[in-house]
Amino acid sequence: MSTTVVVYESTNASLARRIAKNLSVESIEVITTAFPNGEIEIHEAPIKADRAIVTFPKIHDVNRQLIEFMLMCGLCKGSPIVDAVIPYIPYSRQNSTVAHAMILRILDVCRIRLVVTVDVHNPRILSNYNIINILPHEIFADVIGKPTNLLVVAPDHGAIRRAKKFADAIGTDVVFIDKHSKSISNASAVAGMNCMIIDDIIDSGCTINLATDILRNNGCTSVSACISHGFFSARVQHRYSLDALHISESFELPRVTTYKNLEITKLAKPVSAALTPRQ
């Protein structure tokens, strides 16, 4: 009988355990500590299973978590199949082909067969890799429900493709904001509508704040946002005039985040579906 285990580190225990429960498999927690000089030490016996699903630690220090992930994969050398759940792929935000190539090399060294990720910033970096990229309309499907008078908004040029897919999935229209000219593709469509901004990353919040101001100035009823990854840089005081902000659980929230209407969307459901073998 084949065995599958979900391997995780404590920061992502909730996601990993829910995935294991959904797949009806065992989960194994890996304990890590650090030496005074910062080197990471891992405490666990080698993991032997027919399939190991390694869950990337919840990110608060992406470089540390990348090393932890590699060490966790090293524990799975006795498993012929190693898959990975990496909600945010490190360095995927960059335009550097060198950084992208090194991440692919790391995945190869770790013997990763399949990567399940969430709304990767630049899908082309993994175009030749076995990847399942979960998009915003799959992440936030239960959040949206059956909306009325909803208008999907791409806050800049880079968000247009994912916003269109989101709009098509829920059967509504989409408008696009040009950040440079501070204009909307169809301003007359905004008045009286509940606007939903769709994007992959929120960091300083400048793009979201600008989009919100433009939409309100054009007479919308409400403005909310579904953002896949909440970076929330510590150097920024995060305050928004959104009616609701939905993000996934890919990052640990910094203490400086003060947005009162922030809601965290769980990832276990779409990730478990992606990991389920197709018949």
**What is the pLDDT, as a whole number, of residue 133?**
95
pLDDT in tens, 20-60: 999 999 999 999 999 999 899 998 889 999 999 999 999 88
pTM (two decimals): 0.92
Mean pLDDT computed over 234-250: 79
Higher-confidence residue of 182 and 21: namely 21
**What is the pLDDT, as a whole number, of residue 236?**
56
Assess contact for 185 and 215: CB atoms under 8 A.
no
**What is the pLDDT, as a whole number, of residue 82?**
97
Assess contact for 249 and 264: CB atoms under 8 A.
yes
Write down the CATH number for the domain with range 4-134: 3.40.50.2020
Whether residue 257 is predicted with pLDDT greater than 60 in this model: the reply is: no
CATH 3.40.50.2020 fits 138-266, yes or no: yes
pLDDT in tens, 130-164: 999 999 999 998 887 767 899 999 999 999 999 99
φ and ψ of 235, to 5 deg = -80, -5
Domain boundaries, the chain: 4-134, 138-266
pLDDT in tens, 56-101: 999 888 999 999 999 999 999 999 999 999 999 999 888 878 888 8
Q: Do the domains 4-134 and 138-266 sit in the same CATH topology, yes or no?
A: yes
pLDDT in tens, 187-228: 899 999 999 999 999 988 889 989 999 999 999 999 999 999
- Cβ-in-10-Å burial (0-12, 13-18, 19+) of 75 comes to buried
**What is the pLDDT, as a whole number, of residue 129?**
83
φ and ψ of 115, to 5 deg = -115, 125
Distance CA 107, CA 262 (A): 33
**What is the pLDDT, as a whole number, of residue 279?**
47
Mean pLDDT computed over 174-183: 92
Q: Which residues contact 46 (CB under 8 A, 6 or more apart)?
A: 75, 76, 77, 78
User: How far apart, in Å, are the Cα atoms of 17 and each of 6, 47, 213?
Assistant: 8, 17, 40
75 token code pair: 């524990």
**What is the pLDDT, as a whole number, of residue 128?**
74
